[in-house]
Amino acid sequence: MIIFNKLWETMEKKGVTTYHLRESCGIDSKTVRRLRNNENMETKTLNKLCAILDCRVEDIMEYVKDKM
């Protein structure tokens, strides 16, 4: 399972809010909700987040093995 917990940590370190993502960067509220719920995300969105935050993909997401 891909989770986005690191995204929120990176955003806090960089001083970027979800408001900034929505209002200044063109990330809509539905996408923010999907990120919070660790739902599927398009690679173009991940690319945009990395560009906004000036970071690598490992700084915003990670793979965690599903518990069976």
Q: What is the pLDDT of residues 12-65, one digit of tens each?
A: 999 999 999 999 999 999 999 999 999 999 999 999 999 999 999 999 999 999
Q: What pLDDT is recorded for position 47?
A: 96
E strands, 10-66, are 62-63
CATH class (in words) of the domain with range 2-61: mainly alpha
Burial of 43 (0-12, 13-18, 19+ CB in 10 A): exposed
Model pLDDT, residue 58: 97
What pLDDT shows up at residue 68?
65
pTM: 0.89
- In 3-state terms, what secondary structure has residue 51? helix
Q: How confident is the model at residue 67 (pLDDT cuts 50, 70, 90)?
A: confident
Residue ranges covered by each domain of the chain: 2-61
Contacts of 25 (CB under 8 A, 6+ apart): 48, 52
Tokens of residue 14, six digits: 């960089």
